[in-house]
Structure formats: structure tokens, C-alpha cells
Chains A and B, each alone.
Chain A
Amino acid sequence: MSFLDIIILIVKALVLALAATTLFAYFTLFERILLARFQHRVGPNRAGYIPLPGGRKLLGGFLQPVADAVKLFFKEDVTPALADKWVYLISPAFATIPALIIWATIPLGCWPVGGDGALPVGGCAPVGGSNFLQLAEISVGILYLLAVTSIGVYGIAIAGWSSNNKYSMLGGVRASAQVISYELALGLAVLGVVMQAESFSTAEIVNRQWGWWFIIPQFLGFIIFLLASTAEVVRAPFDLVEAEQELVGGYNTEFGSMKFALFFMSEYIKLVAMNAIAVTLFLGGWHFPGLYTLAQFVSANAGQWAGNAVFGLLSLGAFLLKVTLLSFLSVWIRATVPRVRYDQLMHLGWKVLLPMALFNVALTAVLNVLIPDNRVLSGVIALVVGALVIVGVAAVNGPRKPPASQVTLVKKSAEVVQ
């Protein structure tokens, strides 16, 4: 690797980190406006607009994230007197860095550079070159993703512990318990994809989804992954860690100013990163129907470099579009589903999702052995079986009225007192 390559790599890493933080800033705006619309409100629409002729305003509120950041920077930075100072100071970084480095192995698109520079057929594997839109291609990319997402919980746990506050402590403990519980189901859901693609490399997994997204053969795994990743990034309806009504603010109660902003940032970047991983594993990554034909057309008319560039940018766009759709889904779910109870959370994680994920692994294995050649047939079978399992599990675990013997009505309790 030459000196220039290293410089390019560093610049790419910086751009990716900046892009992730910008993405976070605008995801908060996206979420606030969408949540407002879900609740019949307008949302932030004051900070910054593009004036149009006739007094109309375009994109009202697009500077809101900037305003928020400026506000947070000028807040007083307090360290509690009895906090464990160094741990307290380090914990925001502990939470943020894993959230940022998740992005390294996710293929954001396909822009072949170097090598023969040919347009990718059946996947992005340029001979002798590399994919410009993937920072690091390592053969165990999936393990890297799982490891880094789990490290994030250290930040939360030590933040709760070091601030010497019982509410923060409880928030931190809740977070650790929750993340560890859901990691199993998450890992097993990912394992199904790994078995399907026969590879641990993220790039290879995306390549294998050419024309056949893994959401079909891994439908069950996709649902499990969605639920488990929502719990993993402690987001509504699994946001017990910051249950405002019970824990003041959760593990970040004692953090102010930019330290709080870093926790906030790590949470949201992790959420978007989880959506990006879901897109990579299940929704075909940067694949999009018709993209290759278009790039081939451009390549034939305007040269190969232009074709590659068009393919790269459009595949990046397709990837971001899918991530946006999944982000919309998470906001939608946040606006709809109320927070679960702690026992419900543990029940769902251990007694529902884990057996379902194990079943998914078994199903994938059996189908791969029985029907190794016909991916359409095995995929359809897996889809049908997966849907049946989900409907069945939902029916068995549905909300149920507790038996009458366990219920004490207010009217009855008054009688008991008399």
C-alpha cells in the first residue's frame, strides 16, 4: 500500500465519519418533523428557510440541527462532584466511537476503481481493484459489525456507573441487560444470512443478493433482526433505558452540554447504522432493479469511467433510499407502539425471539441441504414457513386478559376493606 493510498483512506474515513454525524443531525430533524406530523403538529419550522418569491418559504427549519448543536455547545459543562471523573469524561467517547466505526465495513454502493475497472456483473467484485464506496473490506465484516455494536453498551454502562446517581446507574444496568439479551437473537438472525450467503464478508453478502434480496429466503430472520436491532439501539418501544417517567433521563441524567449530545448522537447514529446493516443483509444493499442496464448504457455512450461513476452514485442513492425507508419505519413505530414493560421485554427477548431465531437457523440449514440448487423454490418455502411462524407466534403470545383470580378490581378491593 503506497503513501497515497493511506492518505486516500484517511480522507475517506474522515468523510465517512463526518457524513455519519451529518446524517445524525438530519435524522433528528427528519424524526422530529415526522413525529410531529404523526401527532397533528407542524414540527420545527423556524430555523432557516429558503425564501421564495411571493413570501413563501421553502424547507422551513432545515437549520434546526445547527441551532441545536450551537445551543448544546454553549451550555454549561458540569461534572458532578462525586463522579468518578476520568471514567465520567471518557464514557461519552466510549459510546460514540463504536457508533461511528460501525460504518467502516458497510458497502454504501458500488463504484469499482482500479483493476480492470469493468462494470460489476452479478456483484461488486472488481478484479484487482476495489470498491470505492466501502471503506474496509474484511473477510469477517459481519463479526466486526456484531462486535462493534455490542461494544457500544460499555459506554452506556460506565456512564451510568460513573455519574454516581442511582437513576443513571439503573439506566445503565437496564441497558446492559437489554443489549445482552437481544444480542443473541440478533446474532442468530444474522447467522441465517451468513448461511444463506455462505460468507462472513459484507461485500460478498451484498453480491449474493443480485436480483434475489435475502428478505425473501430470510423473511423470519428479517423480522427478528428488525425487532432485535430496535431493542439493541434501545429505541421505542424498547427504550426502557431512558424511561423518563421512572428514571428521570436514564444513564445520561448527569451529563450536560456536548457530553449529552455525544450520547444522543451515538444513539441515533447506531439506529441509522442498524438500518443500514438491515439493508445490507436483507434488502439487497445497493442493488436496485434497472441500475445495471442504465450504467451499461452510459458506459457504452460516455466511456467506462462515466458508467462506473453513474453506477456508483446511483447505487449509493439506492442504498440511502432503502435506509431512509427503514428509518421512516422506525419513526413510524415510535409514533405508534407504546413502551413495553421490563418483564415483557425479557419475555420477548428470551422466550420468543431466541427460539424463533434458532428455528430460522435450522430452517435455513435444512433448506440449503434439501434444495441447494433452486433458490427460488427454497426461498418461497422459507418465506411461507417464516410468515406462518410469525403469525403463529404472534397468536400464541398475543395480549391476553389475566385470569380473573389474579385481578383485583377497585370496586372489589373497596369491598374487601369493608
Chain B
Amino acid sequence: MLGEIVKGLRTTFKYLFKKPVTVQYPEVKRPVRERFRGRHELKRFENGMERCIGCALCAAACPADAILVIPGENDPAHPNSPGERYAATYEINMLRCIFCGYCEDACPTNAIVLEHQYELAYYDRKSAIYTKEMLLVPPDKGHGEIPPILQELNRRPSPPAQIDL
């Protein structure tokens, strides 16, 4: 019995001098996985046009009914998006969203993408509703290809579930 106790004490004592594995969160942030589903972003084309065409398929696909899309007609002189319509209002209620990514799958233009931002705390229910201005990426961040995160999803074989960070 003494031998076991001494062995146990020695083991814990050895651990006392090892480096803690704790990540000091607000200062140090672990990188998330490539396929992590965080806050949504509304993407743009390379020329700065919005990808979203206001079709509301994402709202239809949403199992939590978190998305509100009100489409508007494009002004032919200054179109917001290629095609006839664009999303005049685009709101996501982050309190309802379950981050399932069905909106991503439903989108015909790859406009909505769940990105890596996960710090979504707010003080009241009103600020849980993310409007189009908050979700839309800046005009110079557009790209001609489908967004890289979606390319990653299409790549085969799929990346391993555990990536060493």
C-alpha cells in the first residue's frame, strides 16, 4: 500500500513542474478548424457586387426560422447584384440561429457563408439581430471564385476531423 501511495504522490509531484495546458482565452485565442461554423458573412463578387440575389432560399431552408430576407428590385443603372433582384433587408437573429449551415447549402450563389467569428455576446435581445450592414463584407473583399471556405468543403477527401492546431 505504501508503494502505491508513494508512486501516486511522485506522479502528481512530477506534474507540478509541467507547463499548464490552459489557453489564456481573451489574450490567446486558439485557431478554429477550417470547417468551423461561426457567424455568417454575406460575400461579394470580385467587382464588388453583392452575391445575394434576394431569393430567400436560405430563409426557407433555415430550420430555426432565424433569417429574414425582403427582396428589392435592382435599379438597372446601379445594380446591387447581378440579376433582377437583391436583398433589400437581410437579418439573422443570432438567438435563433443554430449554426447548422443549411443556409450555406441552400444558397445558389454562395453568398452566405458561416465564417470563423464566434464571439457573439450581446447585452440585449435587440442587438442579437444582425443586419445586412453587419453581415456584408467590405466591397474590396470580393472574389471571383466561390468563397475559399466553400471550396474547402468541396475538396475530396474531406479534411480529418482532428487537425493538430
Instruction: Name A residues whose Cβ lies closer than 8 Å to a Cβ of B.
Output: 34, 36-42, 332-333, 335-337, 390-391, 394-395, 397-399
Contacts and interface: CB of A to CB of B under 8 A. Distances in A.
B55 to A, nearest CB: 48
A41 B16 CA distance: 10
Interface string B7-26: 01101110110111110100
A391 B24 contact: no
Contacts of B12: 38, 332, 335-336
Contacts of B1: 394-395, 397-399
A40 B2 contact: no
B4 interface: yes
Classify the interface of chain B: helix, strand, loop or mixed: helix
A34 B13 CA distance: 10
Nearest to B15: A38
B18 A337 contact: no
A37 B4 CA distance: 22
A333 B10 CA distance: 11
Nearest to A334: B12
A42 B4 contact: no
A394 B8 CA distance: 15
Nearest to A329: B9
Given A332-B9, A333-B9, A336-B8, A38 B16 contact: yes
B114 to A, nearest CB: 31
Contacts of B11: 336
Contacts of A398: 1, 4
B22 A42 contact: yes
Nearest to A395: B1
A36 B20 contact: yes
A398 B4 CA distance: 9
30 contacts: A34-B16, A36-B20, A37-B15, A37-B16, A37-B20, A38-B12, A38-B15, A38-B16, A40-B18, A40-B20, A40-B21, A40-B22, A41-B21, A41-B22, A42-B22, A42-B24, A332-B9, A332-B12, A332-B13, A333-B9, A335-B12, A336-B5, A336-B8, A336-B12, A337-B5, A337-B8, A394-B2, A398-B4, A399-B1, A399-B4
A37 B15 CA distance: 7
Contacts of B13: 332
A332 B13 CA distance: 8
A40 B15 contact: yes
Nearest to A396: B1
Nearest to A37: B16
Contacts of A34: 16
B15 A39 contact: yes
A86 to B, nearest CB: 43
B15 A390 contact: no
B23 to A, nearest CB: 10
Given A336-B5, A394-B2, 17 more contacts: A36-B20, A37-B15, A37-B16, A39-B15, A40-B20, A41-B22, A42-B22, A42-B24, A332-B9, A332-B13, A335-B12, A336-B8, A336-B11, A390-B2, A394-B1, A395-B1, A395-B2
Contacts of A336: 5, 8-9, 11-12
Contacts of B16: 34, 37-38
A399 B2 CA distance: 10
B4 to A, nearest CB: 7
B59 to A, nearest CB: 42
Contacts of A391: 2
A39 B12 CA distance: 8
A39 B19 CA distance: 10
Contacts of B20: 36-37, 40-42
A292 B21 CA distance: 46
A37 B14 CA distance: 10
A180 B19 CA distance: 42
A41 B13 CA distance: 14
Contacts of B5: 336-337
A253 B95 CA distance: 34
Nearest to B8: A336
A36 B24 CA distance: 14
A38 B16 CA distance: 5
Nearest to B9: A336
Contacts of B22: 40-42
A395 B1 CA distance: 6
Nearest to B11: A336
A40 B15 CA distance: 7
A133 B63 CA distance: 72
A40 B22 CA distance: 7
Nearest to A45: B24
Nearest to A400: B1
B22 to A, nearest CB: 4
A333 B12 CA distance: 9
A390 to B, nearest CB: 7
Contacts of A38: 12, 15-16
A40 B1 CA distance: 26
Interface in B1-57: 1-2, 4-5, 8-9, 11-13, 15-16, 18-22, 24
A79 B146 CA distance: 62
A332 B6 CA distance: 11
Contacts of B2: 390-391, 394-395
